[in-house]
Amino acid sequence: MAEIVLNIAFVFYVGSSWLRSDLWLRVVLMASSACSTVAGLLIGSPSMIAWNGAFVVLMGWRVGRVLLQRRSIELSGEEAWIRSAVFPDLSPIDFVRLWEMGDDRVYEDEPLVVEGEATEELMLVLSGAPNVRRNGRPVATLWSGQFAGEMAFATLAPANATVVPGEKPVRCRVWSTTRLRGLVRTSPEIAAGLEQAISVDLVGKLSSTDAAAERRVPVRF
């Protein structure tokens, strides 16, 4: 019986290496140690019981703390919509970490991004309808929930288009790419959520471009 329980503990331990979520990683490791504690009781090993029992208590405290933090998070209506529409893979606490690293900014006359120039910021459109120009020609319009400067952020290459405000001022959430890269290096969950958001945004833009080309109508993202 002890060997069976110990094997279950190893299954949990090995399976934890496939988890991206920090919370679920702790839960699975806690389950592994709990099984090891039971195995220690069955074979009568005080040291095995003590060490694994202590780990279960520590992980339980950390998991409880994370759950309490999540319950205490309150998002505004706009923030809740952005998390749901743009960053659905991020937990509330990870979304807040990402969101608070950025700042709101309003663009009235100056461009958001300039073609051929390096950009040090990633922008998410919150309101307004900025126009995208390539080689001086209008090619698209961005809407709320879409990124500007994402290609430069993803590839480290100069911007491949210019983005300027339309008829109305454009309000964006703006992140420093240097600080953002530092955050994603230390948080796999945020890195995965941001990568997914940018990928979905790019696929949507490419699909809109292809459809507009087939219909021979102006592109509107």
pLDDT of amino acid 214:
41
CATH number of domain containing 206: 2.60.120.10
Buried b (16+ CB within 10 A) or exposed e, 175-194: bebeebeebbeebebbbbbb
Mean pLDDT over all residues of the chain? 84
Distances in Å between the Cα of 8 and the Cα atoms of 12, 13, 40, 174, 183 are 6, 9, 13, 46, 35
Could you tell me if 68 and 81 lie in one domain? no
- Mean pLDDT, residues 149-165: 87
Look at the chain and report how many structural domains it folds into: 2
**Final residue in a domain of this structure, among 21, 54, 72:** 72
Q: What count of other Cβ atoms lies within 10 Å of the Cβ of residue 27?
A: 19
Q: What percent of the chain has pLDDT over 70?
A: 88
Q: Based on the domain organization, do 94 and 41 belong to the same domain?
A: no
Instruction: Give the model's pLDDT for residue 215.
Output: 35
Domain extent, residue 126, equals: 77-215
Per-residue pLDDT at 132: 92
pTM: 0.65
User: In the listed set 42, 72, 102, which residue is the last one of a domain according to the structure?
Assistant: 72
pLDDT higher than threshold 50 for residue 41: yes
Flag the least confident range among 40-49, 56-65, 167-176, 194-203.
Answer: 56-65
